[in-house]
Structure 1
Amino acid sequence: MGRRADVAGRPAHRLVGRLAGGGLRVLAVAQRTPTTATHPADQLAELVDEMTLLGFLAISDTPRPGAAETVKRLTAAGVRVIMITGDHPATAAAIACDLGIPQNDTVLTGADLDALPEPERIEATDGTAVFARVSPEHKVRIVQALQQTGHVVAMTGDGINDAAAIRLADVGIGLAAHGSASARAAADLVLTDPDPSRILDAVHEGHTLWHSVRDAVAILLGGNAGEVAFTVLGTALSGRAPLGTRQLLLVNLLTDMLPALAVAIAPSRTPRSGDTPHAARPTPTLLGPELARLLAIRGTATALGAFSAWQTGRLTGRPRRAGTMGLAALITTQLGQTLITDWHSPLVLATAALSAATLITIVQTPGVSHFFGCTPMGPVAWTTVTVCATTAALAAAVPPRFLPHHAPEAP
């Protein structure tokens, strides 16, 4: 402000700190009487000197309604929330505290970022949740630093100063507001409703889509792995494959087509008001340890369900009947696992019931049954198939609930 502003000294600084600490945006007002009536444009900077402080303007820029609840629920869902603002550090700290942003005790400014070498700047950015006095360039560098440390970054904003960072982020979210055209144009996702809680809906949809794809992949690959294991094990014990080519095609038709597709496209369940939409841990990568565990569990359960029914049928000494029991158990075990995966979806229930009815019709219709290398079965055989398939499907649902999860650190 100039030398005369320094006359106010410490009381003025204390007042600024007190106002900023209350979450207010503070502007200083000062004046100077020029010695001449006119000044060239290139001399205007020289006038910002020898000024007299008149006072301060404290502006209340309150957070959007629902912002604190959104931060709380995102944090509970395993999402790390970071605030980036151009306000005074004390103002930023106060607002972050009101919003409930974790680790809000340390504030990093744009000047602090400029003073740090790149390795230290990246490390400091990764450990900070509140940034103040930053420019659009600083916002870009913050997003870049977070990405370099392995985080998946979503950036949200509604101003032209946010556009570059929104464009750079892995997921750019633009909020509809006055003067937000630049942010909306740069965003991957635009929230037409300025309510920030809509971000929770977007996160919920993203997690639901990921889980649907993961479950569909697990059904397809896990079921095929079980079919291969059953075929190899049965061939090793009997000297011939327990299932023929047409039977394997029938398995894929009844388990991989409609039921797996229904799981992939099943609509998401709307979370109840106040519920945390997801577990308090980040979503792991698709092709990672969690999917490998699911494939191993599903493949093992499918193979055991089919093998136990087939082996029981072999005790009768009738190979075709044993093969039919193995075929029915192989399909039924996979359908049972599909139902356990997404039993709340009417589409999944309908496709599973349709596949089961088709299986029964094919097996019990003499001509069609012979075409597929099967033979009609009686109540005892169907009971055996049902018990073996149900036991295997239920056993497959138990391990995922107790196995430890290994997921990357939350962004």
Structure 2
Amino acid sequence: MKNNLLLSVFFIAQSLLALAQYDESKVPPYTLPELMVTQAGKKVRTVKEWEAQRRPEILALFAEQVYGKTPTKKLRIHFETVSTDRQALNSLATRKQIRAYFTDDRQHYMDILLYTPNAAQKPVPVFLGLNFSGNQSIHADPGILITKRWVPDWKDPGLINNQATEANRGARARRWPVEEILARGYGLATVYYGDLQPDRADSFDESIHSLFYNKGQTVPSPDEWGAIGTWAWGLSRAMDYLETDQDVDKKRVAVMGHSRLGKAALWAGAQDPRFALVISNDSGEGGAAITRRQYGEQIKRINTSFPHWFAGNYKQYNDRENDLPVDFHELIAIMAPRPVYVASASEDQWSDPKGEYLSLYHAGPVYALYGRSTLTTPIPPEVEVPVGQKTWTGYHMRNGKHDILLYDWDKFMNFADFHFKRK
């Protein structure tokens, strides 16, 4: 049943992909929502006015109309260190695996994989991100626990009947250059997103949603969180642990994500100010891209292919982008004054690279309130010409397809070096 559902979603997605709009000359005229004007019509002129009035308005609109409201209920989370190896990766790193239990019956949990470099002075800054196939997929390290969760059929080696096997170790290592990250003096933490909610439209009964339902409830209400909100919540719970680890500099944790997990990273960064730096890679519609451009993937397409990702309320904007009370430059803006980096790929027009760049650019007025330098032109840079590496909004467009590669990580680390004051 689940595989039949996935197959149906796949064919729907393929048909929608064929109908995507990739002609820049056909981008309709649009007017972005006023970033610096409150809903009452008051012009925002100071940081105090932004933080007390306009920022909370925008955050609430994203919660109600796009991602869904994150529950305010606090769970009693118990962190248990499953293993520690201080000579991992040929003594290059200390590897810790921590299980975060969300319930006393230990049925709901997520596994945090954390590497910190042995050669660096502790505590170290850390990159935190979710992964698509289980922690074992990011590196061939035989000590990593293999997830027992359902895994999407990515056609990766070692995935059999939606379960990971030994042969899946390191299947996605090209997206996680662990040794290079450690050599730069950074730690790396990751969690399998399926620990929080399986990436299927019928997965709410298997997710952590049930821990927050009201009596008799079986699915989220239209203004409650979808899967992206759930995954973002998990990033914040991983941050809860990182704050307690003496090897981690809790003031220098960068949250990052690719594709749908880039959307989750942005939403986590918007809600949780503990993340010192936020990185989006190829996050597109519902992430960094300006939705009113109606270029590449659009609201109706994403809600049809992935009906579980966003709040139910987001579906009312199918084919009605201009009626959405926010746009995604405002998502970037509510993270100010913290630095934000957005990356695109030249062949990933589905994610609208120009729209991703423009969100950063149009967030500039808020950063200016804080005296922070940002991008200065609405014209995106050439391929593989990074801009803003030493400002508060950085960007590059890598040559190639929808992916996250060493080139991207190198630019993320350069950006972090500047903001984390590393030589």
**TM-score band w.r.t. shorter chain:** under 0.3
TM-score by length of 2: 0.25
Larger Rg: 1 or 2?
A: 1
TM-score by length of 1: 0.25
Greater helix proportion: 1
Higher relative contact order (CA 8 A, sep 6+): 2
